Copies of this chain bind each other. A is one copy, B any other.
Amino acid sequence: MKHYIGIDLGGTNIAAGLVTETGEMHYQCSTPTGANRATDEILADMAAVASLCRRSAGLAPEDICSIGIGVPGAVNDALGKVYFTANLDWEDLPLSRLMRERTGIETHLANDADCAALGEVIAGGAAGYDSAVMVTIGTGIGGGFIADRKIFRGWSGVGTEPGHMPLIYGGELCGCGCRGCFETYASATALIRQTRNAMRAHPDSLLWEVCPELGLVNAKTPFDAALRGDEVSIRLLDQYEEYLAAGIGGIINLSRPHCVIIGGGVSNQGETLLAPLREKLKKYCYASKYITPPPVIKAQLGNDAGIIGAALQAL
């Protein structure tokens, strides 16, 4: 049995696990990230959770094939470095070398959304598919391609960002500096913004009964109101799903994966979200009259996917 350690480095928590080559997680632990701390302190905690994972099975460093880290930012595994992260103040950090020095174990890096995609293909909702696109609907849109059951790191090894293809050129300002990226219309953040706008425009909408304060709106709010028959929410969600389908359709037209996995908090709506999405994808997938769009699957592993995929990225 081969063992790998996966670390999902988040803005809030550092979550780690001991994972076998088949994607089973035998031990799991986590500690707060403390994102404002010095890099050295965060690295010490990452090494500590890795050590806990290793010792949980009584293993020596040489018994671990590799450590894999899922980073919330842009990385280059071949160079072993983090270009930058969204939540930590890291720039051009040689993270692979620093972790190897602290643990004695070879370390690999990938974007956290890429790791989640790999986890779902190896042990989750997309098990059995050779290639997949995963779209994680959260604060932003994370995305990852899996090809031949490996993370696709971009042809030049730089890492892909499907959330940052254009959807409405010149539209809403994106965190990346551009306007109108896919994630500015289809993330949970975008859905919350769209819901608040609808509430302002429709003071009589049931949305106000579901959530009496604009500040408390979350991505579940419009789904709950739609369930109670609120026409404003039904129209709003229909438009939201169009944005989602147009973006995913564009990704499919460029990459033609065997399946599409939808993850992140919004995916908890299950078929309420996915059934209309599948229907709308027929419009946005090129030549869908001849070429059946790929199946759209709900992610199954939740946060575990990121740890499992991080661990097995070097498999």
Contacts from A to B (Cβ < 8 Å): 74, 83-84, 91-92, 130-131, 145, 147, 153-162, 164-170, 176-178, 180, 185, 242-243, 246-247, 249-251, 253-258, 283-284, 286-287, 290-291, 294
Q: Is the CB of A159 within 8 A of B254?
A: no
Residue of B nearest to A177 (CB): B283
Cα distance A166–B251 in the bound complex, in angstroms = 9
Cα distance A169–B168 in the bound complex, in angstroms = 5
Q: Is the CB of B253 within 8 A of A254?
A: no
Most buried by B among A165, A178, A246, A255: A165
Q: Is the CB of B255 within 8 A of A287?
A: no
Cα distance A166–B164 in the bound complex, in angstroms = 12
Task: Point out the residues of chain B lying under 8 angstroms from A155, CB to CB.
Answer: 130-131, 145, 147, 255-258
Q: Is the CB of B290 within 8 A of A91?
A: yes
Q: Is the CB of A164 within 8 A of B256?
A: no
Q: Is the CB of A156 within 8 A of B256?
A: yes
A283 to chain B, nearest CB (A): 7
Q: In the complex this chain forms, how many copies of it are found?
A: 2
Q: Is the CB of A286 within 8 A of B256?
A: no
Most buried by B among A254, A258, A284, A287: A254
Cα distance A58–B229 in the bound complex, in angstroms = 76
Which of B91, B254, B294 makes the CB contact (< 8 A) with A161?
B254
A274 to chain B, nearest CB (A): 20
Q: Is the CB of A166 within 8 A of B74?
A: no
Q: Is the CB of A74 within 8 A of B287?
A: yes
Task: Point out the residues of chain B lying under 8 angstroms from A158, CB to CB.
Answer: 256, 291
Task: Point out the residues of chain B lying under 8 angstroms from A145, CB to CB.
Answer: 155
Task: Point out the residues of chain B lying under 8 angstroms from A290, CB to CB.
Answer: 74, 83-84, 91-92
Cα distance A84–B287 in the bound complex, in angstroms = 9
A275 to chain B, nearest CB (A): 21
Task: Point out the residues of chain B lying under 8 angstroms from A254, CB to CB.
Answer: 160-162, 165, 251, 254-255
Task: Point out the residues of chain B lying under 8 angstroms from A162, CB to CB.
Answer: 253-254
Task: Point out the residues of chain B lying under 8 angstroms from A180, CB to CB.
Answer: 168
Cα distance A229–B177 in the bound complex, in angstroms = 31
Known contacts A160-B255, A286-B74: A250-B154 contact under CB 8 Å: no
Cα distance A156–B294 in the bound complex, in angstroms = 9
Extra inter-chain contacts (14) besides given A84-B287, A154-B257, CB under 8 Å: A130-B155, A131-B155, A154-B256, A155-B255, A156-B294, A160-B255, A161-B253, A162-B254, A165-B253, A166-B168, A168-B168, A168-B170, A176-B286, A178-B246
Cα distance A278–B289 in the bound complex, in angstroms = 37
Residue of B nearest to A288 (CB): B177
Task: Point out the residues of chain B lying under 8 angstroms from A294, CB to CB.
Answer: 156
Q: Is the CB of A165 within 8 A of B168?
A: no
